[in-house]
Amino acid sequence: QVQLAESGGGLVPDGDSLTLTCTASGNPFRPAAMAWFRQAPGKGREFVAAFGWVAGSTYYEDFAKGRFTISGDNAKNILTLQMKSLKPDDTAVYFCAARLQIGLLTAAGEYEHWGQGTQVTVFS
């Protein structure tokens, strides 16, 4: 059974930083790519960034470029999202997702496995 568990969310002021962590487990569990999505109240699930385990490649949504950094620790099956210069518009539940096929895709439907999410709230 594949399981993804996010942590690291919280309540922070405008301009602050947070680091989200997604711990992946399962036997066997060898995702080709993982990603972070977010969902704000009343809105759909939005792609944030993706990470490819084979080559360490990354892909970011425009709003995340320059502020967010996605990375992975293959030995520990941990995916990390470092966020800086946070804004109130970044307030959302952040989800970790994984897919077994290669591809840094941005559509939520392309990912087979999901975590429960972690809340990030940025106040001004």
The predicted structure's pLDDT at residue 2: 79
Structure tokens at 104: 């840094």
Q: What is the pLDDT of residues 51-105, one digit of tens each?
A: 999 899 999 999 999 999 999 998 888 999 999 999 999 999 999 999 989 999 9
- Give the number of other Cβ atoms within 10 Å of residue 37's Cβ: 25
In tens, the pLDDT along 5-25 reads 999 999 999 999 999 999 998
Report how far Cα 100 is from the mean position of its chain's Cα atoms.
Answer: 16
Q: What is the pLDDT of residue 42?
A: 94
Sequence-distant (≥ 6) Cβ neighbours of residue 75 within 8 angstroms: none
Residue 27's pLDDT band (cuts 50, 70, 90): confident
pLDDT at 26: 83
d(CA 117, CA 36): 10
Rounded CA-CA distance 4/72 in Å is: 14
Distance CA 59, CA 16 (A): 23
Strand ranges (DSSP E) for the chain? 3-7, 10-13, 18-25, 33-39, 45-52, 58-60, 68-73, 78-83, 92-99, 113-114, 118-123
Confidence tier at 34 by pLDDT (50, 70, 90): very high
Q: Could you tell me which residues come within 8 angstroms of residue 123 by beta carbon, excluding any fewer than 6 positions away? A: 11, 12, 13, 14, 88
